[in-house]
């Protein structure tokens, strides 16, 4: 009997079966008479430097061989409980989807190169050679280091290493009109102009494979001292076990007993992501997207597709393809929704615009590399003296600054793993422009908490807002009280997440220090640090008439967009 020829597919942020170039290629190769591989081992590793893995220790007597996965500046956990849960759900959904087409997914923890080395040596001890390893290229300093380390192990073992281009984005790498990353424009509008019209830019979605090569037999187990759970519930528990529920906060926010709910009540995984995309089209939310995207309350004011795009369980061109089908009336999806079969509308146009923004943030990471994480940013700015005040940071983290919009957003983020794009802009601007605290602390906190965390979008947008990125207006500064007046005129968002101010008028809820003496004596505000000692007192008088809180229009050029 011929010896098995094993190919390892190491997945990272390409966690899908559909529209996947590697699975697509393997489908065609497996039908060949002399296929180079007889068995496929899809592999996902929870990386020990980015996600705390001590919860996988086989016993309480064991000790992890890896240092804690904490951030560099603030020493926060790099992946908090809610993001860990969403990631686990995504990985498990992929595992189940692969099993339906005759394959599966091996789950491991550790450093990627350690895990790959253990597998290669484990198979070799059984007389089986790993013929090759394929993985998708990712942008990011750590990700590039992983690729180099894994390549070295495979090549030294005599195997074939292939790094595939990342195809989860809107514009294919081969269609970017620049032959050198250093030529990428530093202004988004200039880049956009080179790839328009956007409706014609993406490539076609790849078909979903119906069958994949079988898993190899006698797969080497997870290396000591870790043990991989056999079900999703225990997988989530292992990821969350070492993470303090308060993430190190002295007074962590508590979920209001009523009146507040998550804007992202979704499970991770491609199955959930495709369901969400279909809902956006059928409900008309996609058509209304440009008019509602600055909202703050509810599930449908924005797409929330960033949750799945970040992990590659949805692709941007998949979203684009669904928009084309809707605009041209090619399928029955969205048949009863406004705009069906009537061509591109302002909602679908703006969705493509935001997908391109994600592309652009990724290209900035490719261009500037490790400068994404440096205090001076892309600009290498040396003229800003950032502060490090622990007491101020603790109040910003806990949502007790006294600025209603900022505090509500921080509490929502901590309790749900999400807050709106509008809120993120204001939170980031307040920390960096009003409080003058090191922007990297904010970026690290978002990395810990956001279920839609994406390295390029998160760090690039924090740089943008802090004035050290590639924003042509480095002095941009949001007035969070004016922003609350514009986008939360009735203080619905603020009151939902800050029960202490629910009995106040909107102007008082936005800054509760402005409340009357009598109001400050009521339970919740009496002696409350937000009312007595706000971190800032911001001058603002609302315009007469106000607005409905659903401002449409395009956003200012160059403004950060987390999507």
pLDDT tens-digit profile of 318-374? 999 999 999 999 999 999 999 999 999 999 999 999 999 999 999 999 999 999 999
Structure tokens given for 30: 């497996």
Judge whether 59 is annotated as a binding position: no
DSSP readout, 102-121? T---EEEEE-HHHHHHHHHH
Would the annotation count 71 as a binding residue?
A: no
Tokens of 117: 């080395």
Per the listing, tokens 């942020």 go with 13
> What are 104's two structure tokens?
């599966």
Element containing residue 276 per DSSP (H, E)? helix 270-282
Tens digits of residue pLDDT in 512-528: 999 999 999 988 999 99
CA distances from 342 to 270, 272, 324, 331 (A): 28, 27, 11, 13
pLDDT score at 546: 44
Is 210 marked as a binding-site residue? Answer: no
470-484 per-residue burial string, b: 16 or more CB within 10 A, e: under 16: bbeebebebbbbbbb
Q: Is 227 annotated as a binding residue?
A: no
How far is residue 81 from each of residues 85, 105, 238, measured CA to CA in Å?
A: 6, 23, 10
Classify strands 129-136 and 5-11 as parallel, antiparallel or unpaired.
Answer: parallel
- Any known ligand binding at 3? no
Is 537 annotated as a binding-site member?
no
3-state secondary structure of 463: helix
| pTM exceeds 0.75 for this model | yes
Q: Is 452 annotated as a binding residue?
A: yes
Nearest-angstrom CA–CA distance, 543 and 297: 22
Residues of the chain with confidence (pLDDT) below 70: 1, 472, 474, 543-563
> Residue 445 in contact with residue 79, Cβ under 8 Å?
no
- Say if residues 325 and 339 touch (Cβ distance below 8 Å): no
Residue 44 annotated as binding site: no
The answer to whether the annotation marks 289 as part of a ligand binding site is yes
Reduce the DSSP state of residue 371 to 3 states and report it: helix
Structure letter (DSSP) for residue 318: H
- Report d(CA 256, CA 399) in Å as an integer: 13
**128-179 pLDDT, tens digit each:** 999 999 999 999 999 999 999 999 999 999 999 999 999 999 999 999 999 9
């Amino acid at each position: 009997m011929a010896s098995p020829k094993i190919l390892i597919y190491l997945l990272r942020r390409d966690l899908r079966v559909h529209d996947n170039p590697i699975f697509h290629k393997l489908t065609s190769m497996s039908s060949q008479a002399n296929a180079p591989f007889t068995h496929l081992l899809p592999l996902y590793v929870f990386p020990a430097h980015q996600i705390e893995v001590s919860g996988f220790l086989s016993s309480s007597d064991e000790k992890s061989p890896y240092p804690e996965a904490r951030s560099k500046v603030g020493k926060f956990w790099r992946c908090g409980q809610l993001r860990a849960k969403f990631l686990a759900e995504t990985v498990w959904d992929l595992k189940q989807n692969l099993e339906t087409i005759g394959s599966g997914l091996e789950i491991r923890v550790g450093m990627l190169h350690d895990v790959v080395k253990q597998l290669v040596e484990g198979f070799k001890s059984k007389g089986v050679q790993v013929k090759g390893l394929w993985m998708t290229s990712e942008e990011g300093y750590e990700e590039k280091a992983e690729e180099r380390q894994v390549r070295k192990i495979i090549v030294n073992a005599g195997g074939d290493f292939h790094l595939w281009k990342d195809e989860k984005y809107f514009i294919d790498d081969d269609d970017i009109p620049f032959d050198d990353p250093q030529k990428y424009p530093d202004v988004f509008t200039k880049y956009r102009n080179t790839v328009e019209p956007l409706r014609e830019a993406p490539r076609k979605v790849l078909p979903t494979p119906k069958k994949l090569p079988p898993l190899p037999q006698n797969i080497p187990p997870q290396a000591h001292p870790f043990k991989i759970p056999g079900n999703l519930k225990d997988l989530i528990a292992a990821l969350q076990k070492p993470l303090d529920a308060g993430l190190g906060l002295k007074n962590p926010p508590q979920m209001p007993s009523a009146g507040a709910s998550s804007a992202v009540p979704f499970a991770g995984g491609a199955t959930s992501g495709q369901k969400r995309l279909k809902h956006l089209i059928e409900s008309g939310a996609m058509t209304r997207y440009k008019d509602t995207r600055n909202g703050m309350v509810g599930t449908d004011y924005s797409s929330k597709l960033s949750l799945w795009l970040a992990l590659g369980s949805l692709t941007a061109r998949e979203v684009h393809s669904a928009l084309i089908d809707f605009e041209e009336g090619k399928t029955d999806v969205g048949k009863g929704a406004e705009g069906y079969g009537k061509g591109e509308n302002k909602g679908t146009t703006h969705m493509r615009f935001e997908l391109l923004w994600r592309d652009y943030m990724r290209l900035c990471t490719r261009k500037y590399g490790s400068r994404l994480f440096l205090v001076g940013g892309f600009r290498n700015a040396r003229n800003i003296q950032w502060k490090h005040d622990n007491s101020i940071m603790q109040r910003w983290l806990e949502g007790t600054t006294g600025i209603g919009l900022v505090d509500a957003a921080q509490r929502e983020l901590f309790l749900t793993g999400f807050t709106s794009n509008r809120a993120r802009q204001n939170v980031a601007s307040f920390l960096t422009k009003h409080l003058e605290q090191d922007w990297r602390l904010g970026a690290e906190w978002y990395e810990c908490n956001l279920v839609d965390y994406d390295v390029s979008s998160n760090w690039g947008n924090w740089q943008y807002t802090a004035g050290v990125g590639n924003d042509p207006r480095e002095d941009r500064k949001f007035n969070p009280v004016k922003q609350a007046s514009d986008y939360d005129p009735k203080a619905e968002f603020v009151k939902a997440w800050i029960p202490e101010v629910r009995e106040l008028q909107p102007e008082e809820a936005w800054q509760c220090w402005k409340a009357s003496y009598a109001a400050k004596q009521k339970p919740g505000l009496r002696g409350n640090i937000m009312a007595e000692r706000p971190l800032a007192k911001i001058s603002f008088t609302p315009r007469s008439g106000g607005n409905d809180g659903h401002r449409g229009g395009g956003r200012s050029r160059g403004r950060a967009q987390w999507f």
